[in-house]
Amino acid sequence: MPGYGAGKNLILETVPMRVHWLQHADFEGLGSIEGWLAARRHTVSGTRLQRGETLPELEAFDVLIVMGGPMNIDQYALYPWLRTEKALIRAAIAQGRRVLGICLGAQLIADVLGGPVTRNAELEIGWFPLQLTAEGRAHPLLAGLPAEFTSFHWHGDTYALPAGATRLIESAACAQQAFAWDGSRVLGLQFHPEVTQAEAVEWFRHESVTPSRYVQTADVILANQAAFTANAGWIDAILDRFLAV
């Protein structure tokens, strides 16, 4: 993978785990995370909250992955399951499970840990550079990643860093792009390293965007095949460390 640096050939051992993921919209799936989990023989289950499916008991999983979605974290009138979802995330963290959140998922984790979620100063949609913070460069979850790399973004909200969390990544448009809590056990990613080209095509079927300083057109985003290929490498590298033995 171009630009991955000294860690690009590093393969970390994982043991099969029971991974449960939470979906908020039919058009937002696991993306390239699905292939990573399958290749390492993790047992995968999921709850489609938007379809009214029942959340699992804590004893049913070792790892919880909370994906993105078009809603805000406090739209309880439209999405009443947000309350029970937050309760599950809170309990999973309290009971020592590994918890990963992406975009909305990161905001939900931040919220249950006491970090308020608000509108970001900029809408950020497209391919934009990310920079590791000083703490991020030293953190084992990001070992081997370059100090700057480009990934996919689609968000208008942001979170305040929860107490005790470590800020790992930032961008020009958003200071809070990733955080870790309790060492490496809880991880929130505001950006979308899991998004595939096929999934991005589906997103644009549901939402249109107006180009601005940090918003690219669908044509520009979808034409960048090299960026999608690199994107899969970033999530693979992060997962290799997040679920390492």
> Bridge-partner residues for 212, per DSSP?
215
Catalytic residue among 20, 103, 139, 174: 103
> Bridge-partner residues for 148, per DSSP?
131
The answer to whether residues 31 and 228 touch, using CB atoms and an 8 Å cutoff, is no
Q: Is 103 a catalytic residue?
A: yes
Catalytic residue among 28, 85, 122, 194: 194
Cα-flanking dihedrals φ and ψ of residue 19, to 5°? -110, 125
Within the chain, residue ranges assigned H as helices are: 33-39, 81-94, 104-112, 134-138, 197-206, 218-223, 225-242
How big is the CA angle at 59 (ends 55 and 64), to the nearest 5 degrees? 60
Q: How far is CA 43 from the centre of its chain?
A: 19
| Cα separations in angstroms, 101 against 22, 123, 162, 178, 226 | 10, 19, 14, 10, 25
Catalytic residue among 155, 174, 192, 199: 192
Give the residue among 132, 178, 143 at the shortest CA–CA distance from 159.
178
Indicate which residues carry an active-site annotation: 103, 192, 194
